[in-house]
Chain A
């Protein structure tokens, strides 16, 4: 797909050279006007070792939440740096809990871990974001997002000033993250991206971001630590972090049809209960947070547009013509192939029609006549008029011949 996109725009752009201005304007504003197509989630736990149990529990809790709110498994990339469930120190083998009441086993039947153990590296993480994989990497391990995707990127682990530690051996720096996001933007791999980070000094991790459409929230400001919420004295470790705990508490009240906005989520964080200041960055984000439902990122809710008959458009001659051209027109137009309103389609058709008229004057007149002919509704009237017209003509011709 990507390769075909690469070549065809050239030919299309020649074909539609006269429409230059139209394309340019639509391309520049693509992200803001592109339709939200699908939702992806990348959930990353970066730390190993038994005493970091809570990071895995954090990630698995988020995994459960986004799945519950409607993101399917094939659109979730789950990275877990260690396997706490099978750790010999785990009192409950093959189970992971995020609460000391042990009501909910997060490591139940339907957990698909895409990257596990030592596969969770900075390199693999950046490859997922930018989509530059080895050819052998299966589709389930890739982020196959497109220009209309909303992506949730959740990361937890041990962080510091402008870095996040991976596996106790490497670091993801804020510059790396910003660079990867910028590449994603240029490759049109997302429409909107929500980065959620639960580490110490989390706010520093997204300080270098520049790409539009990115919204970021972190559990703590620079110089602050993020703390765990509570200790499970049965398992013997802390099982969840405060920021994630209160995020989950917010989502537990929601179902996938709720309309709670992002701002209500962001305002739900109380610095006293969090013991750190949740910091969010909105300067790269165009929409107002009050108008964006959380399910835009944490679920799969999309704006649907009602159309009366989905197949009506195909009855029109010109629509078919334009339809065949659209998929190849990657740059400004391809995105409109789906579910746009019919009025938009007509907008789209009209310039094409005009183009053909300008191209041939004869057909233009003929078409006009035809058009007018079509406007005359009743054929009987036409015949009557014709008969009535015959008499004056006959009379005139006979008078002239005398």
Chain B
């Protein structure tokens, strides 16, 4: 017994042995993992599942639509009134809200007007993650610059008034287009129907958002006041100039109903539907519906909301439902051949065992890939794809429905009927809901309106990509300490190797970590430089960009000088193989950064990992490659240079844009505009680029340029 124990004891536990094994073969493991990660990403369209309505209570389509053609023609009359209003006069943007308000009161709803000013979308580093801030209204706005949202509310006759469903129709009150008028017509016909029905359990809010300052701004302003406005704010807003006096008629007519003209609220919002009508008609024989779902920082509404819209649109109204896809990917030959390959593999597998079904047709695969890529890109960008993004900031599930009619204007009533019935069906389904949407997925990527990849599957691709990072870091660290210990024993005094050597290595590790930390600190400085650059008005984007780059470089040298860690002379003098340690720490920092980012926004982390992981893993000083002079080393050097070039954020952006956009016009200042929009939308992607990607890129360049 004792002998056996003595034999077993020195053996480490299996998990440690597996870890050691993986570390010792880290090169092979990292190649396998990276290839598998990219493959898994490409396989996602195949692994996508069909969507299903997960919440029992929703029951979409169980009730027959009540919207009659009379309602639709009412909506059409309303539309005509708006269009005539629009053509009569050079309006001040008050006539249309007035008319909408009148119609709302006639149909039995409550109305109020919400005035707002656009909030300057300055970048405030401190408020970055604090969510939507209470607006800072600028003083020098003239009265005509107020936007006026018209809000109509139908109270549920027997409901408890605790919950509400929101319909949003953005329109430009100064210059209303036909398509905007159509969306208003749809909302009106649905609203007037809902004011008559007896089955409402949630209040209905119709927000006719004045989009002269942008659709998102109007909706966001209303939402902010809905959640934050207090009594005192109310008095102030009534004292505001201009429109309130013009709107006196409606306000008094509401007053005669014995109700206040204050900011009206219904309950907490269960869901919000933004209804838009596209200007261009579809080339298809059916009316089209495009669903936009991505909100800020890659947040998605609950999948059930998309499911019910898709279900009702396809089965109820016979619309052609689409989600946005990247068109340039559709005719890429390599994607198509990949699709054919997986189709072939699927067929072979099926012939082997009829139970195995995983192949999908190649055309489906290409389409799925294009949709998935767009879904991934929009989520990674972190910029909402429509006014629905404002709702998601308040944890309200919402989507934008963009209808594209195929008409001939004579068929407008029919179009209003179809779309109105769809909206009614969605509202009735959400009305059946008992709680918030919670049953279905929040983390998913769409590959088509009826297929999705859930978080459990797409995380595999990411996990495979970043798995080699800690292994390689550990391997490099152990290499560095080994070589150092050998060198130390030879050169320095041979006194107790067990004590002095580990302390020496630890010291070195901390020194390198300090370097990496300083570079990341520099990244933080780079992040907030644009805040000061924005203070200079009237500077062109290209100038701002150059200023940004220049000041970043100055800061980089300043920090290097201050810390002395990046000074090339000292490094070459002391430790020749210091780059190994530096690489180990860089890889660790990249790993930590990617993991943190995957929690905030998976899509950003996924795309970032595709760039960052190969760059970090490949980085070897160019001098080594040049002195070795084998083809393998030269190839590695070339790869490193290429990756270093691609990894630089502006070049990466421009190449991505060039690959995805069909338009040839690519300018450098696009990058500045792009980062500006990221900042304006509080996108975490901006932080990621400046504080994780850029420092890691600098460190990789540092390794490449390391003197041997």
Contact = CB atoms under 8 A, between A and B. Distances in A.
Given A233-B64, A236-B199, A89 B431 contact: yes
A89 B62 contact: no
B492 interface: no
A88 B64 contact: no
Given A88-B158, A91-B197, A236-B199, A51 B63 contact: no
B63 A234 contact: yes
B57 interface: yes
Interface string A101-136: 000000000000000000000000000000000000
Contacts of B160: 88
Interface string A210-249: 0000000000000000000001011111100000000000
Contacts of A235: 63
Contacts, number: 48
A237 B431 CA distance: 13
A49 interface: yes
A235 B62 CA distance: 9
A50 B158 CA distance: 14
Interface in B618-662: none
Contact of A88 (B57, B59, B62, B159): B159
A50 B435 CA distance: 12
A231 B60 CA distance: 12
Given A88-B156, A88-B158, A89-B431, A51 B199 contact: no
B432 interface: yes
B434 A236 contact: no
Contact of A236 (B156, B159, B428): B428
B434 A49 contact: yes
Interface string B189-209: 000000001111100000000
A89 B199 contact: yes
B434 A233 contact: no
A57 to B, nearest CB: 15
Contacts of B56: 51
B344 to A, nearest CB: 38
B59 A237 contact: yes
Nearest to B55: A51
B63 A236 contact: yes
B62 A50 contact: no
Interface in A43-91: 49-51, 86-91
Contacts of A51: 56-57, 59, 432
Nearest to B59: A51
A238 B62 CA distance: 8
A49 B198 contact: no
B198 A93 contact: yes
Contact of B158 (A93, A234, A236, A237): A93
B69 to A, nearest CB: 18
Contact of A49 (B57, B64, B156, B157): B57
Interface in B62-81: 62-64
Interface residues of B, number: 20
Contacts of A234: 63-64
Interface residues of A, number: 18
B198 A237 contact: no
A49, A86, A236, A237: residue with the most chain B Cβ atoms closer than 10 Å: A236
A278 B198 CA distance: 38
A284 B63 CA distance: 45
Interface in A291-322: none
B94 to A, nearest CB: 36
A89, A92, A236: residue with the most chain B Cβ atoms closer than 10 Å: A89
B156, B157, B434: residue with the most chain A Cβ atoms closer than 10 Å: B434
A51, A92, A93: residue with the most chain B Cβ atoms closer than 10 Å: A51
Contacts of A50: 57, 432, 434
A145 B201 CA distance: 42
A90 B156 CA distance: 12
B156 A233 contact: no
Nearest to A231: B62
A88 B200 contact: yes
A50 B197 CA distance: 17
Contacts of A93: 158, 198
B63 A233 contact: yes
A238 to B, nearest CB: 8
A142 to B, nearest CB: 33
A237 B160 CA distance: 21
A149 to B, nearest CB: 38
Nearest to A50: B432
A355 B326 CA distance: 106
A234 B197 CA distance: 12
Interface string A308-350: 0000000000000000000000000000000000000000000
Contacts of A87: 201
A89 B201 contact: yes
Nearest to B425: A236
A379 to B, nearest CB: 90
Nearest to A92: B198
A159 to B, nearest CB: 15
Contact of A237 (B62, B64, B156, B201): B62
A50 B199 CA distance: 12
A233 B199 contact: no
Contacts of A49: 57, 434
Nearest to A90: B199
A89 B159 CA distance: 8
B432 A89 contact: yes
Nearest to B197: A91
Contact of A91 (B62, B199, B434): B199
Contacts of A88: 156-160, 199-201
Given A49-B434, A89-B431, A236 B62 contact: yes
Contacts of B201: 87-89
Contacts of A92: 198
Nearest to B160: A88
Interface in B412-460: 428, 431-432, 434
B525 to A, nearest CB: 55
B136 to A, nearest CB: 41
A50, A92, A235, A238: residue with the most chain B Cβ atoms closer than 10 Å: A50
A51 B470 CA distance: 51
A341 B157 CA distance: 63
B53 to A, nearest CB: 12
A235 B159 CA distance: 16
Contacts of B434: 49-50
Nearest to A52: B56
18 contacts: A51-B56, A51-B57, A88-B156, A88-B158, A88-B160, A88-B200, A88-B201, A89-B199, A89-B200, A89-B431, A90-B198, A90-B199, A93-B158, A233-B62, A233-B64, A236-B428, A237-B62, A238-B62
Given A49-B57, A235-B63, 20 more contacts: A49-B434, A50-B57, A50-B432, A51-B59, A87-B201, A88-B156, A88-B158, A88-B199, A89-B201, A90-B198, A93-B158, A233-B62, A233-B64, A234-B64, A236-B59, A236-B62, A236-B199, A236-B428, A236-B432, A238-B62
The 8 closest A-B pairs by CB, nearest first: A236-B63, A88-B201, A233-B64, A88-B158, A88-B159, A91-B199, A89-B201, A51-B57
Interface of A: 49-51, 86-93, 231, 233-238
